């Protein structure tokens, strides 16, 4: 019974969005991340990861809309050569990986149909914990991340190709409060609008 009510609620919300908006579309996308964890005792080099997920387009007018997304985002990082001097028991030159479930909610401004300017917040939920960064039982990274996103997207009929910059706004350091760690980097992607 609860499942049927949930499905009916989702269908009604989608129908309302479709009827109120100039256009409602769904699609899938995938691409590469070039990210780093920015903070004291981290390597400043950007590392490759990937992103994959789904997006929707809710067009209020031909020039303005929203583009909410649901993405799996990977950030690869490396600690610096003096990480253990900053954090007792820390690992130097350690290669790590952070996997996030990211939810960007982007304002889409289309000066021409071929180009979308995307800007807005992104909320991230950490899916894995890196307990080996510092030799203690505490998780090294906070479970949530809040970022701002800005970029551009080419709209080639049903195909979408874009680049954006993501900069973390909150401190993801869960070891101590002395130093701030933030995610930042570039995303390149291609997508396909299903309908």
Is the model's pLDDT at 124 over the cut of 50? yes
pLDDT in tens, 56-106: 999 999 999 999 999 999 999 888 888 888 887 788 888 889 999 999 999
Residue 98 located in a structural domain: yes
Task: Give every CB contact of residue 139 below 8 A, 6+ residues apart in sequence.
Answer: 129, 130, 131, 174
Mean of pLDDT over the chain: 87
CB atoms near residue 158 (< 10 Å): 12
Q: Give CA angle at 191 (148, 102), nearest 5°.
A: 35
Q: Give domain status of residue 60, yes or no.
A: yes
Count: domains in the chain: 1
Instruction: Break the chain down into helix, strand, coil percent, rounded to 5.
Output: 10, 60, 30
Q: What is the pLDDT of residues 161-192, one digit of tens each?
A: 999 999 999 999 888 888 899 999 999 999 99
CATH of the domain at 173: 2.40.160.20
In a domain, 2, yes or no: no
Domain that holds residue 85: 23-193
For the question of whether the overall pTM of this predicted structure is more than 0.75, the answer is yes
């Amino acid at each position: 019974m609860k499942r049927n009510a949930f499905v009916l609620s989702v269908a009604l919300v989608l129908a309302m969005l479709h009827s109120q908006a100039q256009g409602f579309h769904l699609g899938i996308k995938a691409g590469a991340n070039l990210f780093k964890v920015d903070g004291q005792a981290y390597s400043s080099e950007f590392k490759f990861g990937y992103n994959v997920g789904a997006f929707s387009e809710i067009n209020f007018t031909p020039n303005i809309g929203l583009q909410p997304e649901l993405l799996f985002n990977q950030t690869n990082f490396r600690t610096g050569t003096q990480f253990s001097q900053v954090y007792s028991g820390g690992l130097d030159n350690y290669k790590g990986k952070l996997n996030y479930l990211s939810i960007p909610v982007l304002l889409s401004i289309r000066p021409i149909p071929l180009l979308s300017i995307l800007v807005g917040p992104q909320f991230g939920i950490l899916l894995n914990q890196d307990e080996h960064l510092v030799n203690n039982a505490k998780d090294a990274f906070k479970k949530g991340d809040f970022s701002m996103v800005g970029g551009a997207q080419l709209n080639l009929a049903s195909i979408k190709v874009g680049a954006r910059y993501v900069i973390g706004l909150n401190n993801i350091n869960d070891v101590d409060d002395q130093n701030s760690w933030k995610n930042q980097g570039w995303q390149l992607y291609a997508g396909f609008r299903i309908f």
